[in-house]
Amino acid sequence: MDFKSAHRACVAPMMQYTDMHDRYLLRLISKNTYLYTEMITTGALIFGKCLDQLDFNKEEHPVAVQLGGSDLNDLIESSKISEGYGYDEINLNVGCPSDRVQKGRFGACLMLEPEHVANCLSEMQNAVTIPVTIKCRLGIDDNDSYEFFENFVSVVKNAGIKNFIIHARNGILSGLSPRQNRMIPPLKYDFVYKLKKDNPDLNIIINGGIKSLEESLEHLDHVDGVMIGRAAYDNPFMLSEFDEHIYGQETKRISKAEIFDEYVSYMTSKESQGYDLSRMVKHLFGLSKGDPHAKAFRKLVLEAIRLKDITPYKSDLRQLLVN
């Protein structure tokens, strides 16, 4: 599949959420949706502090690694390491507004340094053979005009980068927490649509506030791809129709109970390899979203986390799921 077709639907990078286990669960539900790791900082990656974060299952492909950093040499080295690990794409985070990230001079504050971002991305792309992409916002603080956004994109584009994931709201660097920064600045989808119209040669993936297949299909009339974060984590089963309706692939629909069985065998096998069970079990919370017994299901998941054992709850949990 070419880049554009492969990225028609993506699940957003989310720290503490989209780890390798969550991505495995998502992959059981949709075979095509493009997956992203949590952000991994270049420092942690180079000094080998995050090998568990870099780890992925072979079933996860297509899967991109997201890097956080701003030092050119570190980004180049991290890109090479990531390619060596077998990732399909390298994405640079230019959208995270947290204080910690700002202190490291990366994330969203880099939107004020388009030339530096462009240089880093172009050198990263020269260092690897897989695609290098960027995830950014529309602007930062008071820089909220279309002109600011367009200028940022055109500088990066002129360095040869074609693939943009855009969280369609501004980032506010002081005064708002990362959580507020995902809710308070207004979504401006029209900026992203206009960008695609003005730059048909770019691959544009839109992100922010997308909650359903229907909404995704509407966005796809204007841009090349959609990226879904919170909605896909809170209700992973929403992806179950994406292969058919977004990728046009006839696939056998898999029921929630079947997904549950497969994920339980996965957890058993990973636990025997030393992975922490509670970190895997927690991803089950969303599987019962919308079901009449969702509350009871979540309660049992909590119990399994507390006990660090899912075995006693397996059959009750399975029965509570509605397909």
Instruction: Of 135, 124, 146, 167, give the one whose Cα is nearest residue 66.
Output: 135
Those residues whose C-beta lies under 8 Å from the C-beta of residue 228, and which sit 6 or more positions away, are: 9, 10, 11, 12, 207, 210, 211, 216, 238
Active-site residue among 10, 96, 120, 136? 96
As measured in angstroms, the least distance from the Cβ of 135 to ligand FMN is 5
Two tokens at 314?
A: 């397996």
Answer for which of 139, 185, 209, 225 binds ligand FMN (CB under 6 A) is 209
Answer for which of 208, 225, 236, 286 binds ligand FMN (CB under 6 A) is 208
Those residues whose C-beta lies under 8 Å from the C-beta of residue 166, and which sit 6 or more positions away, are: 135, 136, 137, 138, 192, 195, 204, 205, 206, 207
Distance CA 226, CA 9 (A): 5
Nearer to ligand FMN, 27 or 169 (CB): 169
Query: Rule CB under 6 A: which of 222-261 touch ligand FMN?
Result: 228-231
Nearer to ligand FMN, 164 or 313 (CB): 164
Answer for which of 8, 17, 53, 148 binds ligand FMN (CB under 6 A) is 17
Answer for which of 7, 13, 156, 161 binds ligand FMN (CB under 6 A) is 13
Answer for which of 95, 114, 171, 286 binds ligand FMN (CB under 6 A) is 95
Judged by CB under 6 A, does residue 124 bind ligand FMN? no
Active site residue 109: no
Distance CA 78, CA 201 (A): 28
CA distances 200 to 34, 223, 309, Å, are: 22, 9, 52
- Give the bridge partners for 10, in sequence order: 34, 227
Counting residues that bind ligand FMN (by CB under 6 A) gives: 23
- Chain residues in the site for ligand FMN (CB under 6 A): 12-17, 38-39, 66, 93, 95-96, 135, 167, 182, 207-210, 228-231
Please identify every residue annotated as catalytic.
96
